[in-house]
Amino acid sequence: MNITLRVWRQAGPDVEGGFETYEAKDISPEASFFEMLDEVNEMLNDEGVEPIAFDSDCREGICGTCGVMVDGHPHGPQSATASCQLHMRKFSDGDTITIEPWRAVAFPVLRDLIVDRQPFDEIIQAGGFISANIGAAPDSNIILVPKPAAESSMDAASCIGCAACVAACPNSAANLFTGAKIAHLNLLPQGSPERYHRTVAMVETMESFFGSCTNFGECEMACPKSISIDVIAWMNRDYVAAQWKNFRKQGQQ
């Protein structure tokens, strides 16, 4: 396959960037998207050109660092697939592919296709801890977890923090990410003691960085793990419940 690439190049967060055009020649259809970029970088390196900077670690779709916009789609045109698991067979010989970083105010471009996802770390840190007994191993099944709750919690926990939801949202909202991180703890008994405090802290931290959710639903469609927007409804429910509890507590003082 011979592919033409339009790649966003930017030397730093305070430097103006722009698209550069490169030719990717003799690419195997079985190569992954980042293997193709690796080949292009080898060519650029041989020509004395600065290679394209992009984030990638596990290349198994579980670390969340690989996200880029491919032809305007977060992670690319294949649904439920991270950028690192996208393969060139999804494209056709002679295609022109546009590659750029996430576009969100909260994620400044550090270099080329790499953005700073620090606000996601801030949201997770705001969630604090869970009350778990770390002493002797408890008896088997001593904590009963309903099967629907366990399954929903595991689905939410599959979030890899890639930020595709933010990149896809017209408002650059992070509600799907925050809802998933809240739900995978709040749905389980072990996460219940801090449930409402956690929700308020994480939601208010989220709102200090990101836009508001207006239920477009693009986040669910862009998510490489197909996390349902149900987690946003659960988050909103717990946030309202937490505010009501705080209101009642203040009224009793």
- For the chain, the farthest-separated pair of C-alpha atoms sits apart, in whole angstroms, at 73
Regarding predicted confidence, which is higher, 243 or 143? 243
Tokens 């969100």: give the residue: 104
Same-domain pairing of 163 and 64: no
Same-domain pairing of 137 and 33: no
Q: What pLDDT shows up at residue 97?
A: 98
DSSP H helical segments within the chain, as ranges? 33-46, 118-126, 147-157, 164-168, 175-186, 195-207, 218-222, 230-252
Domain housing 227: 117-252
The Cβ-side half-sphere exposure at 82, using a 13 Å CA radius, reads 23
Going by pLDDT thresholds of 50, 70 and 90, the confidence category of residue 23 is very high
Same-domain pairing of 151 and 247: yes
**pLDDT (mean) for 127-147:** 76
Q: How far apart are the first and last CA of the chain?
A: 71
CATH at residue 13: 3.10.20.30
Residue type for position 197 = H
Tokens of 113: 């296709």
Mean pLDDT of the chain: 93
CA 48 to chain centre: 33
pTM score, whole prediction: 0.92
